[in-house]
Amino acid sequence: MEKKDPYASLRIKEFNIFLLVRFLLVFAWSMQFIIIEWQVYSLTKDPWSLGLIGAFEFLPAFTMALFAGHIVDQKEKRNLLALCIGAFSLISLGLYFLTIPSFVADWNEKTVLYLIYSLVFFGGFLRSFFGPTIFSLIALIVPKKLYPNAATWSSTTWQIASVLGPAFAGYTIYLMGVNLSLCIVFGLVMLSFLMVFLIKRKPIMNPKKGEPIIKSLREGVDYVFKTKEILGAITLDMISVLFGGAIALLPVFAQDILEVGSKGFGVLRAAPAIGAFLTMLITAYIPISKNAGIKLLSAIFGFGVCIIVFGLSKIFWISLVALFFSGVTDGVSMVIRQTILQLKTPDHMRGRVASVNSMFVGSSNELGALESGITAKLMGTVTAVVFGGSMTLITVLITAIKNPTLRKLDLTKDMEAHEATP
């Protein structure tokens, strides 16, 4: 039997450029989100304001997702990604100016907050295009037999950036302040904009170019709902992220419960991503395709347990360990879900399927932030986090009983079939 090469996709030069662009984007985006969370909570001292950040990003990301997927499937992917990055740079620049004390000196606090929320809203609209574009571009850079390997390294790159971005943001806030931290974000976005043009333009794979939008959207949604493996995986992940959104309340824990300041906040925010990154690195060597359904259910159940432990803890190191293992379990879930999507999605439907996925999972991060903000306001911060973790456990148990297709899912044959494809 031929030995598998864990670095197969990394031997493709253009894929390495793609990973660098993705790293820069995720690093900058995660930095920016953390900085804005810190700034908004510092201004308001109200957990509800953190929920509003999630709401303002969720609404456009969710409502535009299907239309974005249709556009992605109809357009050339490299230039579309460049356009998205250019728009992202405008958001970063706007947030930079809104945090210059002399620039907003004559403005009241509500005006500044409303403008920040407006830019967050625009970012949500933009994010509805990022996911489908990146997901589709991977399939045009690497051959089919390397899809699972490329998905692992792409997700790993995302996690590395998610590890370093929040931690770096915490330290830059502490050392340089919010404004200069956002200046760094803008510089990183512009660097990614220049790098993306090192990737060649790609052919449009959709044989139905110019298809009426309603028919196109219906086809994408129908495919997801008919493919039980995709529907089950992303539904389960959506609900776990929705109710396990403790990360959105980290500024409250860092400032008021654990009392560890901005440095501790950066460490706490990085802990889940470190756990997920290490998990994904291991899966490049040890595939988890066999009995993938059971592993997915077990991982999300473990995630719920970690969230409950974090919510109940008042000791920094226990909270840190709980968040680390929440990242480990989330990493397993992410690798399995991305592998399912890559293996089960036809090339001409990648944009639309990725958009439906973003509606289920991606937008649930922001909706989870809103849910956390509301429940924290009504129940208190600790109770809200424990409630969310408990709902995750209940969801896993119900899914395991009601969805035998997902429970019995095994991706071994699918991976072997793709490895045999040139």
Please check whether residue 302 is in contact with residue 396, taking contact to mean a CB–CB distance below 8 angstroms: no
Band (pLDDT 50/70/90 cuts) for residue 195 is very high
Q: What is the per-residue pLDDT across 272-290, written as a single tens digit (0 to 9) for each?
A: 878 877 887 777 676 666 7
For the chain, what's the residue count?
A: 422
Q: How many CB atoms lie within 10 A of CB 265?
A: 26
Q: What is the per-residue pLDDT across 296-310, written as a single tens digit (0 to 9) for each?
A: 888 889 988 998 998
Please check whether residue 145 is in contact with residue 417, taking contact to mean a CB–CB distance below 8 angstroms: no
Q: What is the per-residue pLDDT across 65-74, written as a single tens digit (0 to 9) for each?
A: 777 777 877 7
Query: Cα dist. 71→47, 222, 302, 316, 338 in Å?
Result: 36, 17, 37, 46, 21
Buried b (16+ CB within 10 A) or exposed e, 185-197: bbebbbbbbebbe
For residue 349, give the nearest of 188, 135, 154 by alpha carbon.
Answer: 135
> How far is residue 368's CA from residue 303's CA, in Å, rounded to a whole number?
15
For the chain, domains (ranges, CATH) are: 14-197+212-419 (1.20.1250.20)
Please check whether residue 126 is in contact with residue 91, taking contact to mean a CB–CB distance below 8 angstroms: yes
| CA-angle at 228, arms to 222 and 230, nearest 5° | 80
3 state SS of 336: helix
Mean pLDDT of the chain: 79
Say if residue 352's pLDDT is above 70.
yes
Q: Which residue has the tokens 């493709």?
A: 12
148 φ/ψ angles, rounded to the nearest 5 degrees: -60, -40
